[in-house]
């Protein structure tokens, strides 16, 4: 039977790119994009959906005959610290609604994105293993660590095929990030191409695991299309791209823009980043479903600059 896929949080940084990839793989008529904000530029079906409202979610699922859900809606690490209890309530309620509706509707698959934000100060800082001790320092990270346990519970108790990746910071030219601690790594390229000064909210030497959008999307599809028997980890897989710091990015950007100006003004997001790993180990993803990143820092920078120049200076 043809998959009918619902993307929740379709207007987000990852969601907006994932919708197009899913439409390409499943067909335009077999993907429903949804978001709490109605403005979008998708072709195909779009529904305004508040995923905290289980009745609304069920109505969309039943009206389209949805068989898979990609749940990309969440309050992210930086934004989430402004209202901790609200962040917890929203992130957990949306996940519970997705898991329950998927269970009752006997759906084929659910994708639930986790994050390196699940790691805290008690995890190894370098080459952090999949089974590291999780003591997240943000409410967003707590909601993702708890969400991983709930995903595994729904698999073990009900057989629901929920799959998850711990995304690093995602860098892409196709969309803007929305309230994360790694947002600087997208904003910096827009400032460089506009030849404007960039004010970085992290210290120059804050190394974090990052991944190019195209790698993140491919990893998601490779995970979701892997045979069920190959998925050995039902909490979430570590996903590594490459690790680098703001000053590493600046060094590469200045190969294209020698006069690129940067000021470092660390804020509360530096305290969040300081508790995250510098690099993570994704051996299990490589072993279980063949993961291998394709974009390193050099290719990320050249691609971001090339693509953003097309957006900002089309005539060039
Ligand atoms: C955030 N971009 O900064 C997200 C991501 C690894 C970070 O989860 O909150």
The pTM of this model reads 0.97
Pick out the chain residues at pLDDT < 70.
314-316
Token pair for 70: 């990609």
For 213-244, the pLDDT digits (tens) are 999 999 999 999 999 999 999 999 999 999 99
- How far is ligand 1, taken at its centre, from the CA of residue 186, in Å? 12
Tell me the β-bridge partners of 212. 171
Going by C-alpha positions, the residue among 236, 49, 53, 61 that lies closest to residue 150 is: 236
Domain check: are 205 and 294 in the same one?
yes
Nearest atom, ligand 1, residue 80 CA: 9
What does the CA dihedral 169, 304, 13, 280 come to, rounded to 10 degrees? -20
Q: How confident is the model at residue 156, as a pLDDT?
A: 98
Domain check: are 96 and 197 in the same one?
no
Domain check: are 54 and 199 in the same one?
no
Domain check: are 217 and 179 in the same one?
no
Q: Whose CA is nearest to atom 8 of ligand 1?
A: 115
DSSP, collapsed to helix, strand or coil, labels residue 130 as coil
Domain check: are 151 and 186 in the same one?
no
Residue to probe by mutation, ligand 1, list 81, 170, 180, most atoms within 8 Å of CB: 180
* Domain CATH code at residue 248: 3.90.25
Domain check: are 206 and 64 in the same one?
no
Domain check: are 140 and 193 in the same one?
no
Q: Whose CA is nearest to atom 4 of ligand 1?
A: 180
Domain check: are 85 and 111 in the same one?
yes
Q: Whose CA is nearest to atom 1 of ligand 1?
A: 180
**Which H or E run contains 19?**
helix 13-26
Domain check: are 35 and 165 in the same one?
yes
Domain check: are 108 and 200 in the same one?
no
Domain check: are 85 and 204 in the same one?
no
Q: How confident is the model at residue 315, as a pLDDT?
A: 60
Q: CA 173, 174, 176: angle at the middle one, nearest 5?
A: 80
* Domain CATH code at residue 116: 3.40.50.720
Nearest atom, ligand 1, residue 115 CA: 8
Nearest atom, ligand 1, residue 181 CA: 3
Domain check: are 266 and 252 in the same one?
yes
**Domain around 128:** 5-169+211-238
Q: Whose CA is nearest to atom 3 of ligand 1?
A: 180
- How far is ligand 1, taken at its centre, from the CA of residue 316, in Å? 33
How many alpha carbons lie under 13 Å from residue 240 in its C-beta half-sphere?
20
Number of domains in the chain: 2
Q: Is the CB of 168 under 6 A from ligand 1?
A: yes
């Amino acid at each position: 039977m043809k998959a009918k896929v619902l993307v929740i949080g379709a207007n987000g940084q990852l969601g907006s790119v994932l919708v197009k990839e899913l439409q390409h793989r499943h067909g335009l008529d077999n993907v429903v994009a949804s978001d709490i904000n109605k403005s979008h530029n998708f072709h195909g079906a779009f529904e305004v959906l508040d995923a905290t409202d289980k009745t609304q979610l069920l109505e969309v699922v039943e009206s389209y005959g949805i068989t898979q859900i990609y749940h990309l809606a969440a309050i992210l690490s930086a934004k989430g610290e402004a209202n901790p209890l609200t962040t917890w309530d929203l992130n957990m309620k949306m996940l519970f609604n997705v898991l329950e509706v998927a269970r009752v509707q006997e759906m084929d698959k659910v994708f639930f994105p986790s994050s390196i934000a699940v790691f805290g100060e008690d995890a190894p800082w370098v080459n952090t293993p999949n089974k590291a001790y999780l003591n997240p320092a943000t409410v967003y990270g707590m909601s993702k660590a708890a969400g991983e346990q709930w995903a595994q519970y729904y698999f073990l108790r009900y057989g629901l095929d929920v799959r998850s990746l711990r995304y690093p910071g995602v860098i892409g030219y196709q969309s803007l990030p929305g309230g994360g601690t790694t947002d600087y790594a997208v904003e910096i390229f827009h400032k460089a191409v506009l030849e404007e000064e960039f004010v970085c909210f992290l210290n120059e030497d804050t190394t974090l695991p990052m991944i190019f959008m195209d790698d993140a999307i491919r990893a998601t599809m490779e995970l979701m299309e892997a045979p069920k028997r190959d998925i050995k980890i039902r909490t979430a897989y570590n996903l590594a791209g490459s690790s680098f710091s703001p000053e590493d990015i600046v060094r590469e950007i200045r190969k294209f823009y020698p006069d690129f100006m940067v000021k470092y003004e660390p804020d509360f997001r530096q305290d969040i980043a300081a508790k995250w790993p510098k690099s993570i180990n994704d051996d299990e993803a490589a072993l279980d479903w063949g993961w291998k990143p394709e974009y390193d820092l050099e290719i990320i920078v050249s691609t971001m600059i090339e693509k953003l120049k097309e957006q900002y200076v089309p005539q060039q």
